Amino acid sequence: MSDDEADPELLELLRQHLQGKLNLRNDEPETGVLEDARYVYDNAIDVAIQMRACKDAAAVLHAQMRDKGYSTASWGAHELHPDPAAMHGSSGFRRHGHDGGGEDGGEEVDEDDEESGDAAAVAFVFTMDLLNFSFWSAQKEPERRFAVEYRGKRWTGYWSMVAALWRALDEGIPITDTHFWQDEEACTLEVMRHVFRSCTDEEMPLLAERLACLREAGQVLYEKYQCHPLNLVLAANGSAAGLVNLLAEDFSCFRDEHPFEGRRRPVRILKRAQIFVADLWACFRGERYGAFRDIDKITMFADYRVPQILNSMGCLYYSPPLETAIRAGREIPSGSSWEVQLRACSIWCVELILKEIRQTHPDARVNAILLDFFLYDTIKEMEAAGKETVPHHRTRSIWY
């Protein structure tokens, strides 16, 4: 066909479009998080990204993740994360062989038990991520910070919350039951203080806000999802982005979006909504209730730990006033320009690292979720070993 001749296939596509027979829209859900992160990065003045450092970080992180065989199995390997296969039986709250004999209690799991175990795991993960925020301590001495003692170990930070949930279930408190959340006589602030009681003098932060999250979620699940988060997951029809959008639309406590520098619509970050999807994906190894056809649309989970390690690796750098505030331990208000820049630029930075890994190693099985999990685990290991080189920023909020 010469340059002067019309392409018959293109003509037919144009004809169908003009006749309204061709659907050119992409009806697959999008969260908008990555788009908004790019917008903030393009307009940020206090947080920037060092591209050379991102390339170096990509090489180091890929090598470390490869050598450790890092995958969704790494998430499930932690003794406090739920194991659906072990959460079967009458109570529905078994995990990692802690109850009964043998690795999984010594019982054969039938289909009904597997389904009840799956439902219990989804309920646990939903509760976990509903309350997954604000664990940093104002105490300078590690031994004085909020901590939970459970099964002979002391847990701090995020793990203190997860340990407290298991402890409550062991004590017969149905902390993952949506009916319990709505019972204002049974689920009270005093009960929350008992569930999340510390082995130090410091109380878990924002207990009243955590109770409010349970109350709201219980009400929404009652009104729209037959009282169980399992139905929420099913409503997303296997779309990770769709589930994130349902959470942000139906639950104000998951609607992590903020104004930025006069922009007409808020910047979507959606940390806890996204991490719920990611935790389901990891918990179920990408199968059953963790099967999402678009899981790679999930970004990293913008909190205060991942920006910390990105800064220590030289990937993120800050303006002198912001760096001074962080190093001085001054609290940065939630939703402020500084805070939005820190979180959004972290999302974009991890995306650049991920892109570099995929370009250099096309066969690498990695996404933003696994990168985030690995970075978080790494900075926590550095903290435990006393090797943190820079502090994390301090913001007290329900968003992370």
Please confirm, yes or no, whether 303 is among the known catalytic residues: yes
CA distance 192 to 245: 29
Least Cα distance to 346 among 6, 95, 38, 60 occurs for: 38
In 3D space, the residue among 267, 269, 292, 266 whose CA is nearest the CA of residue 279 turns out to be 292
Q: Are 125 and 114 in contact (CB under 8 A)?
A: no
Q: Which residue has the tokens 């910390």?
A: 308
Q: Which of 36, 118, 279, 303 is catalytic?
A: 303
Q: CA-to-CA distance for 227 and 231, rounded, in angstroms?
A: 8
Give the Cα separation of 80 and 96 in Å (integer).
8
Angle 388-142-325 from CA coordinates, rounded to 5°: 55
Residue 49: strand, helix, or coil? strand
For residue 331, the 8-state DSSP code is B
Chain center to CA of 77: 17
Task: Say which amino acid occupies 218.
Answer: G
- Helix count and strand count (H, E) for the chain: 16, 6
Q: Apex CA 67: angle with CA 62 and CA 73, to 5°?
A: 90
Q: Which of 167, 294, 316, 166 lies closest to 236, judged by CA? A: 294
In angstroms, rounded to a whole number, what is the distance separating the alpha carbons of residues 147 and 385?
18
Tokens representing 329 are 């331990």
Distance between CA atoms of 282 and 353, rounded to whole angstroms?
21
CB 114 within 8 A of CB 85: yes
Longest Cα separation, the chain: 82
Distances from the Cα of 38 to the Cα of 54, 214, 311, 349, angstroms? 16, 32, 18, 9
Q: How far apart are CA 254 and CA 245, in angstroms?
A: 10
**Catalytic residue set:** 303
